[in-house]
Amino acid sequence: MLRDRYMERARELAERGRYSVAPNPLVGAVVVRDGEVVGEGWHVRAGRDHAETIALQKAGAAARDATMYVTLEPCNYRSNSSGESCTEAIPRSGIRKVVVGHLDPNPKMNGRSIGMLKEAGLEVELLNSPEFERQNEQWFWTQRVGRPFVHLKLAATLDGRIATANGDSKWVTGEEARRKAHLLRAEAGAVLVGVNTVIADDPLLIPRDLPQEPSRVTRVVLDPQLRTPIESHLVQTAGEAAVLIFTNATTDKDRRRKLEASGVEIIATPNSAGRLDLSFILDELGRKGISGVLIEGGGETARGFVRGGLVNKLTIFYAPKLLGSEGIPMIGSLSLEKMADAPRFSVSNVERFGEDVAITLYPSKIKEGYVHRVG
Ligand SMILES: NC(=O)c1ccc[n+]([C@@H]2O[C@H](COP(=O)([O-])OP(=O)(O)OC[C@H]3O[C@@H](n4cnc5c(N)ncnc54)[C@H](OP(=O)(O)O)[C@@H]3O)[C@@H](O)[C@H]2O)c1
Ligand SMILES: [Zn+2]
């Protein structure tokens, strides 16, 4: 069917924004007139023109009486460089019909834009097919729940160790797997680690060596006692990409001032028995407009999110190595006595990266009672 072919093309175009568009959704649009594609566009980056506007600009006068195929419901707020919304720009261009892949779960849209296009006299065909929701799993989750989509990523040996007992972890996996990890950072738009990882590895956590300019990434550290070193790469680059530290409300004021003077944002966090409240942290990140967060470990941090039932997606890169029981475990203690109580996942994808194998999984159950696995 021709409609499916054009929708598939729009989906492919949207895919081009996967590593640059966070915290916004991936969107692709195709304009077709008399069986000929006259304009194409995709959303590249938050703050830039939307896919529809770009496709209309390419089509120019050929948009008159044409059909637009777009993966996600168009927006109804000022979005393009001339201060128009897509629901204004589309009718003005002369487009007669719009085929929409899925409603946008953003409460400002969610059917309203479709109504506006109809009111402007356009024919609208709404498909609501799961493939368009699946393409934007991060966006759909964050719009419905108000928190970022949590993707836990770990690199482990075959026996589930992420570092030697003295903390050496460079490197568990090979270059190809590490390159993929940079893509996952760019896709999420935020990266979170525990303070031990900052101390042991001194990571930058900024996506590098990507074929296109990646999304701007926010770096987040769980650090109840403010042990993050001022001289760490993270703190020293706080002016380049935001750094947020979630800490205990009662931490040392002097250290706090020093970190803040380096450009780090410190957020006092409710806690019990020294454990920071991860739900509060996710709410706070959601309030800051962050749509996805890649949890990069270490094992203690991973434990907290798994135990809390807060993980939306899990990717483990297994290196064909063994470290033995003294190595640092991939997940800290879950205090389980019965196999039946183990958190369960279903495998979505298995992929090889050089010598390493990546397994991508979705949890069978998460806290909100809403499993984001479509189709
Ligand atoms: N292979 C990999 O994928 C990978 C990835 C990352 C790290 N690593 C390695 O893993 C090691 C570090 O792992 P780790 O398990 O020791 O530590 P970690 O998870 O990096 O950091 C743990 C610390 O972060 C704070 N923290 C984390 N979650 C918290 C929560 N819910 N509430 C309060 N505080 C929280 C605590 O700080 P306080 O102690 O101050 O209370 C805790 O001790 C390093 O050697 C690193 O090289 C490997
Ligand atoms: Zn728009």
SS3 32: strand
Contact 320, 355 (CB under 8 A): yes
Q: How far is the CA of 288 from the centre of ligand 1 (A)?
A: 24
For residue 35, what are the CA distances in angstroms to 6, 52, 98, 204?
Answer: 10, 18, 15, 49
Instruction: Tell me which residue of 191, 249, 201, 262 sits closest to 221, measured CA to CA.
Output: 191
Q: How far is the CA of 375 from the centre of ligand 2 (A)?
A: 26
Is 88 marked active-site? no
CA distance 127 to 304: 39
CA distances from 152 to 177, 233, 368 (A): 15, 22, 17
Written as one string, the DSSP assignment of 163-223 is E-TT---TTSS-HHHHHHHHHHHHHHSEEEEEHHHHHHH-------S-SSPPPP-EEEEE-
Distance (Å, whole) CA 304 – CA 244: 18
Q: Are 363 and 309 in contact (CB under 8 A)?
A: yes
333 contacts 339 by C-beta, under 8 angstroms: no
Cβ–Cβ under 8 Å, residues 326 and 161: no
Best residue among 204, 301, 330 to mutate for probing ligand 1's pocket (most ligand atoms within 8 Å of CB) is 301
User: Distance, CA 262 to ligand 2 centroid (Å)?
Assistant: 37
323 alpha carbon, closest ligand: 1
3-state SS class at 346: strand
Alpha carbons within 13 A on the beta-carbon side of 191: 28
Determine the Cα–Cα distance for residues 320 and 323; give it in Å rounded to an integer.
Answer: 10
CB atoms within 10 A of CB 77: 12
Q: Which ligand is nearest to the CA of 162?
A: 1
Pocket residues: Cβ below 6 A from ligand 1: 154-155, 162-163, 167, 169, 172, 193-197, 200-201, 222, 224-225, 227, 274-276, 278, 296-301, 304, 328
- The model's confidence at residue 366, banded by pLDDT at 50, 70 and 90, is low
Name the 3-class secondary structure at 79: coil
Active-site residue, from 52, 73, 88, 187: 52
Counting from 1 in the atom list of ligand 1, the atom nearest the Cα of 156 is: 1
Q: Name the H helices within 42-93.
A: 51-59, 86-92
How many angstroms separate the CA atoms of 194 and 228, rounded? Answer: 10
CA pair distance 16, 315, nearest whole angstrom: 21
pLDDT on residue 373 = 42
Task: Give distance in angstroms: CA of 300 to centre of ligand 1.
Answer: 5
Asked whether the predicted pLDDT for residue 149 surpasses 70, the reply is yes
Task: Return the ligand 1 atom nearest residue 317 CA.
Answer: 3
Pocket test for ligand 1, best of 150, 162, 184, 296 (most atoms within 8 A of CB): 162
Which is the closest atom of ligand 1 to the Cα of 329?
15
| Residue 288: pLDDT over 90 | yes
Q: What is the pLDDT of residues 176-208, one digit of tens each?
A: 999 999 999 999 999 999 999 999 999 999 999
User: Nearest bound ligand to CA 41?
Assistant: 2
54 - beta bridge partners?
Answer: none
What proportion of the chain, given as a percentage, has pLDDT over 70?
Answer: 97
Which is nearest to 105 in space by CA: 73, 76, 150? 73
pLDDT tens digits, 87-126: 999 999 999 999 999 999 999 999 999 999 999 999 999 9
Which band of pLDDT confidence, cut at 50, 70 and 90, is reported for residue 11?
A: very high
pLDDT at 173: 97
pLDDT digits (tens, 9 = 90+) for 20-45: 999 999 999 999 999 999 999 999 99
Amino acid residing at 172: V
Question: Region 142-156: what's the mean pLDDT?
Answer: 96
Mean pLDDT of 355-360: 98
Point out the ligand 1 atom lying closest to the alpha carbon of residue 164: 45
> Residue 367: its pLDDT value, please?
53
Locate the ligand 1 atom nearest the alpha carbon of residue 199 and give its number. 44
Q: What is the mean pLDDT of residues 140-158?
A: 96
- Give distance in angstroms: CA of 341 to centre of ligand 1: 24
Confidence class for position 271, pLDDT limits 50, 70, 90? confident
**296 touches 151 (CB < 8 A):** no
**Is the CB of residue 371 less than 8 Å from the CB of residue 362?**
yes
Q: Give the span between the Cα atoms of 312 and 150, in whole angstroms.
A: 5
370: buried, middle or exposed (CB in 10 Å: 19+, 13-18, 0-12)?
Answer: exposed
For position 339, what pLDDT does the model report?
94
- Portion of the chain with pLDDT greater than 90, in percent: 89
Predicted confidence (pLDDT) per residue in 301-321, tens digit: 999 999 999 999 999 999 999
- CA torsion angle 68 73 77 80 (round to 10): -40
If one residue of 150, 161, 197 were mutated to test the ligand 1 pocket, choosing by the most ligand atoms within 8 A of its CB, it would be 197
At residue 59, the pLDDT reads 98
Average model confidence (pLDDT) for the chain?
Answer: 94
pTM above 0.85, yes or no: yes
Smallest-distance ligand from the CA of 169: 1
